[in-house]
């Protein structure tokens, strides 16, 4: 596979690959902003459309559609190329945004959020995959740092924009704002990114794709909605997991009997790919635990406002891109395994410190905990993903990248289920729980996060010791 930038040595906006990097960052911003901008507009949406009991589906259906489509897009990218898949994802996201902006009821908005999620399922992994294609192993850490910085900015900008649009304009603008971003990202990508590859006549494993989609959707939906929309041990609660497991078993059988698998089973046989995906799964659970309950703790226990709570959490997404952009200097000298171990140690230090937070803590102390944890995650997530990408050639990189991100989505769903169940078992869910009750419940979440960090550090020991020579 050849791209228009394989021989360049500079990383940044002013380099020849700068316009491509900007388009990837714009594409990433679509997913990053949409994951935060809607949170502060929920009440305005409910006031207009009604359906308060249904609004959690605005988040669940988006995450579900995004997660189940990621593995499919990864395979399509290895067949048809990254550019058409990325452009398709941007176009689908734009269509979903327009439909959401004109939604006339809560069920309609939920359905259109699914369309957005299907678009996001292509945009996020393709941004990372294209960066892996056009940058060398020495450059990828810095490029991933640029992409990670979009999430840091969006963590602050998203809720702010959502509040401004809801209060001074209309909540519909939280979706309409995506339209110019989609247009500029698509235009810059079409104009500046050129790829060419010799491809055989594509043969798509439709049966495997269907089985994977049904199985993954059932498992993730069961984890997201179990204990909320239905009881865990109710017929639907058990049945949806049975359906998921049966579909994934059928998927495994199909993939082992086809010459053109949608998700090749070799990704489950290579040590580096297995460990990097397992680390990604734990990262998803860890991040979900912090992003969900740190703001709640700061507001409900420490007694601050929403803005202060948001900034306390923002230090997590500030530390991540800083560490990710500098991680290349470490893994090029000491190797991916050592870098992940250093990152794991920082994560254990940060997450372990969260257990020591009490009701008398200062907000800056929470911010320091999140920042240190973010540093650690940046030194684990980016290097291990780059290691996985570097272990394969162009024809397999899309599948490897999407598998890694799919594992993170599964981790997020598991985190939602476990941490949510822990908190709900300790607080009175009929109203706002008192601070001492909330503190006790979230303390258990912080213990779980710390345990996840320790497990992540131990898992990093299983990474291959040798430095990559790719």
pLDDT band at 428 (very low <50, low <70, confident <90, very high): low
pLDDT at 408 exceeding the cut of 90: no
Question: Which has more pLDDT, 84 or 202?
Answer: 84
pLDDT band at 466 (very low <50, low <70, confident <90, very high): low
Q: What is the pLDDT of residue 147?
A: 80
Q: What is the pLDDT of residue 14?
A: 67
pLDDT mean over 68-72: 84
Q: What is the pLDDT of residue 17?
A: 76
Domain 263-470 CATH superfamily: MFS general substrate transporter like domains (1.20.1250.20)
What would the pLDDT profile of 125-151 be if each residue is shown by its tens digit? 888 888 878 887 777 777 777 887 787
Question: Which has more pLDDT, 408 or 13?
Answer: 408
pLDDT band at 282 (very low <50, low <70, confident <90, very high): very high
pLDDT mean over 272-295: 87
Residue 355: C-alpha distances to residues 179, 290, 362, 424, 437 (Å): 42, 12, 14, 19, 16
Q: What is the pLDDT of residue 132?
A: 79
pLDDT mean over 114-118: 91
The pLDDT > 90 percentage for the chain reads 19
pLDDT mean over 40-66: 75
Q: What is the pLDDT of residue 263?
A: 74
pLDDT band at 446 (very low <50, low <70, confident <90, very high): very high
pLDDT mean over 109-116: 91
pLDDT band at 283 (very low <50, low <70, confident <90, very high): very high
Residue bearing tokens 């420490």: 302
pLDDT band at 6 (very low <50, low <70, confident <90, very high): very low
The contacts of residue 449 (CB under 8 Å, 6+ apart) are 286, 289, 290, 351, 354
pLDDT mean over 324-348: 88
In 3D space, the residue among 398, 389, 65, 67 whose CA is nearest the CA of residue 263 turns out to be 398
pLDDT at 259 exceeding the cut of 50: yes
Q: Where are the domains of the chain?
A: 12-193, 263-470
Highest mean pLDDT among 68-77, 175-184, 189-198, 431-440: 175-184
pLDDT at 469 exceeding the cut of 50: no
1.10.645.10, 1.20.1250.20, 1.20.120.790, 3.40.1360.10: which CATH number matches 12-193?
1.20.1250.20
The mean predicted confidence, pLDDT, of the chain is: 82
pLDDT band at 306 (very low <50, low <70, confident <90, very high): low
- Assess whether the region 12-193 and the region 263-470 belong to the same CATH fold: yes
Residue 219 class from Cβ within 10 Å (0-12 exposed, 13-18 middle, 19+ buried)? buried
pLDDT mean over 422-450: 80
What Rg do the C-alpha atoms of the chain give, in angstroms?
A: 21
pLDDT at 394 exceeding the cut of 90: no
Q: What is the pLDDT of residue 307?
A: 66
Question: Six-digit token pair at 225?
Answer: 């909605």
Question: Six-digit token pair at 421?
Answer: 């169940």
pLDDT mean over 268-294: 87
Question: Which has more pLDDT, 259 or 297?
Answer: 297
pLDDT at 90 exceeding the cut of 90: yes
Q: What is the pLDDT of residue 7?
A: 43
Local structure of residue 361 (DSSP, 8 states): -
The pLDDT > 70 percentage for the chain reads 89
Query: Which residues sit opposite 3 in a β-bridge?
Result: 195
pLDDT band at 5 (very low <50, low <70, confident <90, very high): very low
In 3D space, the residue among 10, 26, 28 whose CA is nearest the CA of residue 18 turns out to be 10
pLDDT at 89 exceeding the cut of 90: yes
Q: What is the pLDDT of residue 342?
A: 94
Q: What is the pLDDT of residue 385?
A: 86
pLDDT at 212 exceeding the cut of 80: yes
Alpha-carbon distance 166 to 182, whole Å?
Answer: 21
DSSP helix/strand/coil, 279: helix
């Amino acid at each position: 596979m050849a791209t228009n930038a394989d021989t360049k040595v500079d990383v940044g906006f002013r380099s020849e690959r700068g316009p491509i990097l900007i388009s990837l960052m714009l594409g990433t911003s679509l997913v990053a902003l949409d994951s935060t901008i809607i949170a502060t507009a929920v009440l305005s949406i409910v006031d207009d459309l009604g359906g308060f009991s249904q609004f959690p589906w605005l988040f669940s259906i988006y995450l579900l559609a995004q997660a189940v489509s990621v593995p499919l897009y990864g395979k399509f990218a290895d067949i048809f190329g990254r550019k058409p898949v990325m452009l398709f994802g941007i176009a689908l996201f734009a269509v979903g945004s327009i439909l959401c902006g004109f939604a006339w009821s809560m069920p309609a908005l939920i359905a259109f959020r699914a369309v957005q999620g299907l678009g996001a399922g292509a945009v996020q992994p393709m941004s990372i995959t294209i960066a892996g294609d056009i940058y060398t192993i020495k450059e990828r850490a810095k490029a991933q740092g640029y992409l990670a910085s979009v999430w840091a900015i969006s963590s602050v900008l998203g809720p702010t924009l959502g509040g401004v649009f809801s209060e001074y304009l209309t909540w519909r603008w939280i979706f309409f704002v995506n339209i110019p971003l989609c247009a500029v990202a698509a235009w810059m990508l079409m104009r500046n990114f050129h790829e060419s590859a010799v491809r055989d006549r594509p043969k798509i494993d439709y049966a495997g794709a269907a089985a994977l989609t049904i199985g993954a959707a059932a498992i993730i939906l069961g984890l997201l909605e179990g204990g909320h929309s239905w009881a865990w041990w109710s017929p639907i609660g058990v049945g949806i997991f049975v359906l998921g497991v049966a579909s994934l078993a059928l998927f495994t059988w199909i993939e082992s009997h086809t010459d053109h698998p949608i998700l090749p089973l070799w990704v489950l046989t290579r040590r580096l790919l297995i460990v990097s995906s397992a680390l990604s799964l734990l990262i998803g659970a860890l991040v979900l635990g912090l992003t969900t309950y740190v703001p709640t703790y700061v507001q409900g226990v420490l007694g601050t406002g929403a803005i202060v709570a948001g900034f306390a959490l923002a230090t997590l997404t500030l530390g991540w891109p800083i560490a990710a952009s500098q991680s290349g200097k470490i893994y090029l000298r000491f190797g991916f395994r050592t870098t992940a171990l250093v990152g794991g140690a920082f994560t254990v230090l940060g997450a372990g410190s969260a257990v020591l937070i009490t009701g008398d803590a200062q907000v800056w102390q929470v911010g320091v905990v999140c920042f240190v944890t973010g540093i650690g995650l940046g030194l684990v997530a980016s290097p291990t993903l780059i290691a996985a990408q570097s272990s394969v050639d162009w024809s397999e990189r899309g599948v490897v990248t999407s598998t890694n991100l799919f594992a993170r989505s599964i981790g997020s769903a598991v985190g939602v289920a476990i941490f949510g169940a822990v908190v709900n078992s300790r607080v009175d869910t009929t109203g706002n729980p008192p601070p001492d009750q909330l503190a006790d419940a979230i303390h258990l979440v912080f213990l779980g996060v710390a345990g996840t960090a320790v497990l992540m550090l131990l898992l990093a020991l299983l990474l291959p010791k040798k430095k990559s020579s790719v």
